[in-house]
Amino acid sequence: DVKVTQSSRYLVKRTGEKVFLECVQDMDHENMFWYRQDPGLGLRLIYFSYDVKMKEKGDIPEGYSVSREKKERFSLILESASTNQTSMYLCASSHGAGTQYFGPGTRLLVL
Amino acid sequence: QKEVEQDPGPLSVPEGAIVSLNCTYSNSAFQYFMWYRQYSRKGPELLMYTYSSGNKEDGRFTAQVDKSSKYISLFIRDSQPSDSATYLCAMTAPGAGNMLTFGGGTRLMVKP
């Protein structure tokens, strides 16, 4: 079974802090994704990566950056957290144009 | 108008009922269709995947695709309280790379 793990289930940070969210997948998938999920807005793509050191902006990249130094690991960085970044963050991975497999999510609260 | 529309619900049914969840879409290029189930405070998990018009069955679940009407459905037979979750449809087109377009999700509650 594909396993996608995220570093934290719940996170509380203060405004202005730098926040790192990590995602690891164990199926050698080349594609990895970061989404945020908010009530009424559904899943919105922040960034995705189709190879090591490659990244592409999704629909809402502002305020976020990503890093993919190894194939299995994809990090989402909030350079200076703001209250409007309070959300559920979901990581996913896929092989080719196949289905995406999601991690359990990180609930981030920015105070 | 969103590319993929899905009634947010909540949809409340008694245990044992047949449930019908639906999505409509506007992009005729979509060829691959997925249903994900998401329990509260968890990540979505893949439930069904189909790429052709018609029906695909897996246990109590049936996915139906009608490309001519740009309409997909997920049917759940003999619904159980454990089916209570949010159901997300997702779809993609050939050449879209790895991008999925998601519906907003329908919240289903199955009451014992």
Range name among A10-24, B16-30, B84-98 with the lowest pLDDT average: B84-98
Task: Identify the segments of chain A with pLDDT beneath 50.
Answer: none
And the tokens for B16?
């044992």
- High-pLDDT (> 70) share of chain B, %: 97
Q: Looking at beta carbons, which residues of chain A come within 8 Å of B105?
A: 42
In whole angstroms, what separates CA B111 from the centre of its chain?
A: 20
- CB of A4 less than 8 A from some CB of B: yes
Residues written for chain A? 111
pLDDT exceeds 70 at position B92:
yes
Distance CA(B3)–CA(A102), nearest Å, equals: 22
Mean pLDDT of B70-84: 97
Asked whether the beta carbons of residue A50 and residue B98 sit closer than 8 angstroms, the reply is yes
The pLDDT score that the predictor gives to residue A40 is 79
pLDDT of residue B20: 97
Task: Give the number of other Cβ atoms within 10 Å of residue B69's Cβ.
Answer: 10
Contact A94 B98 (CB under 8 A): yes
Quote the pLDDT of residue B97: 65
Contact A97 B96 (CB under 8 A): yes
Q: Looking at domain B4-111, what is its CATH homologous superfamily?
A: Immunoglobulins (2.60.40.10)
**CA-only gyration radius of chain B, Å:** 13
- Mean pLDDT across B67-73: 94
A4-98 CATH pick, 2.170.190.11, 3.20.10.10, 3.40.640.10, 2.60.40.10:
2.60.40.10
Pairing of strands B106-111, B11-14: parallel
Query: Could you tell me the residue ranges of all domains in chain A?
Result: 4-98
